[in-house]
Amino acid sequence: MPDDHRPVRNEEEIHLFVERMAMAFADVGFPRMAGRVLFTVMSADEPLTAAEIGERLEVSAAAVSGAVRYLTQFGMLVREPVKGSRRDRYRMPGNPWYEATITKTGLYKNFIDIANGGVDALLGQDTPAGERVAEMRDFFLFVQEEIDALGERWRARRAATGHSDPAG
């Protein structure tokens, strides 16, 4: 028995964090179960198997299967076969997914394109309606550009505070 004086994990509080974070993500369109799985793995010190994820969340294997398929598709989760076992392990990628998610998402790109169509349909900016839509488009355009630049500043800041830049 190792003489281990570290405090033990408060699984209850951790689970609360997982559920809250997943819900916050669900509120902005992220699939519910995918969020729960994602943050379960994130809050584990070791990579987890599908069965372990299912246990911790008390959900079916089917639900886990669907969620990890979704998550690995976008590189938010990495699947690792375990040598000499049928099980796979799941872990967080080394490159933080949220950075790419926020900065590369093109969230506003969609708004901009549609708003552009609106300006055309409204015969340019010479009407009150056209002017309003054009202004909205310009704002989203501005935000999109700013957020593109933001990713660069974040990486610079992290490098300055002594973080490496690991790959997934």
70 binds, among a copy of itself, DNA, none (CB under 5 to 8 A by kind): none
145 binds, among a copy of itself, DNA, none (CB under 5 to 8 A by kind): none
- Smallest distance, Å, CB 12 to a copy of itself? 8
> Which three-class secondary structure string do you get for the chain?
CCCCCCCCCCHHHHHHHHHHHHHHHHCCCCCHHHHHHHHHHHCCCCCEEHHHHHHHHCCCHHHHHHHHHHHHHCCCCEEEECCCCCCEEEECCCCCHHHHHHHCCCHHHHHHHHHHHHHHHCCCCCCHHHHHHHHHHHHHHHHHHHHHHHHHHHHHHHHHCCCCCCCC
Footprint (CB under 7 A) of DNA, residues 46-85: 49-51, 58-66, 68-69, 84-85
- Pick the stretch among 60-68, 71-79, 81-89, 132-140 that binds a copy of itself (CB under 8 A): 132-140
Q: Does 20 bind a copy of itself (CB under 8 A)?
A: yes
Interface ranges with a copy of itself (CB under 8 A):
6-7, 9-10, 13-14, 16-18, 20-21, 24, 27-29, 39, 42-45, 92, 96, 98-99, 102, 107, 110-111, 114-115, 117-118, 120-123, 127-129, 132-133, 135-136, 139-140, 142-143, 146, 150, 153-154, 157
